[in-house]
Amino acid sequence: MPTHAVLLTVSDRPGMLFAITKALADHQANISYIDLIRHADRDAEVYLEFQLDGEPGALYEELRRTPGIVDLAATPSFARIYGKRIIVMGGGAQVGQVAMGAIAEADRHNIRGERISIDTIPLVGEHELAAAVRAVVRLPRVRALVLAGSLMGGEITRAVGEVRAKGLPVISLNMAGSVPDAADLVVSDPVQAGVMAVMAIADTAKFDIVRQQKRRY
């Protein structure tokens, strides 16, 4: 079924989410993503992505009639705008170099019709990094994680094992610690690591990370 996206401006009061999801359920719409956006100085917003067999016009009319919904705007989905995501985390200098390679390679594929975006977060500390690694699988549209640093192990290694078990590929720089042994792929050059991360998730590339399991470059 085709995916639709809508941005609703709603009164910030109890019961609004129930009213919205009830309208979608009544029209047999399957919600695939939802985000609540609260503002200090104006009405809240609810962003929804959903699949529906047929045109959403009747659903939109019912939503407009729902008490508490101030405005409705159909919008392109995040997948169409931002597409797949790569998360790069670790030391600032290494993260910057990985991002340089990933952005340059993503640009090449996006020109050919892909949508790949690169997100970065410089972090230090074993427990901070481990928490961030575990949180990656809760982010929408993430297709790969790159760990960029000079020393990672311990709790971070355990977190890598957990996200890999959930199907998320992990690329690591060749660094001290046990994280490289736990990653899917180890790359010494940070710029090349960014390039290979993009190639691993791009439909327009012929790079299969499964065939590179546990290799080091």
Tens digits of residue pLDDT in 137-153: 999 999 999 999 999 99
Q: What is the pLDDT of residue 174?
A: 96
Angle at 162 between CA 145 and CA 80, to 5 degrees: 40
Tens digits of residue pLDDT in 16-29: 999 999 999 999 99
Tens digits of residue pLDDT in 163-173: 999 999 999 99
SS3 for 167-187 is CCCEEEECCECCHHHHCCEEE
Please, which pLDDT band fits residue 207 given cuts at 50, 70 and 90?
Answer: confident
What percent of the chain has a predicted confidence (pLDDT) above 70?
99
Rg (CA), the chain: 20
Task: Please check the confidence at residue 1 and state whether its pLDDT lies above 80.
Answer: no
Which residues are CB-contacts of 88 (< 8 A; sequence separation ≥ 6)? 95, 98, 99, 102, 118, 119, 120, 121, 145, 146, 148, 194, 197
What percent of the chain has a predicted confidence (pLDDT) above 90?
87
| Residue in the structure block whose two tokens are 């917003």 | 45
Write down the pTM of the prediction.
Answer: 0.86
DSSP string, 135-171: HHTTSTTEEEEEEE-SB--THHHHHHHHHHHTT--EE
| Residue in the structure block whose two tokens are 């609810």 | 46
Task: Please check the confidence at residue 211 and state whether its pLDDT lies above 80.
Answer: no
Identify the three-state secondary structure at position 6. Answer: strand
User: What are residue 159's phi and psi, to 5 degrees?
Assistant: -65, -40
Please, which pLDDT band fits residue 214 given cuts at 50, 70 and 90?
Answer: confident
Angle at 72 between CA 21 and CA 117, to 5 degrees: 85
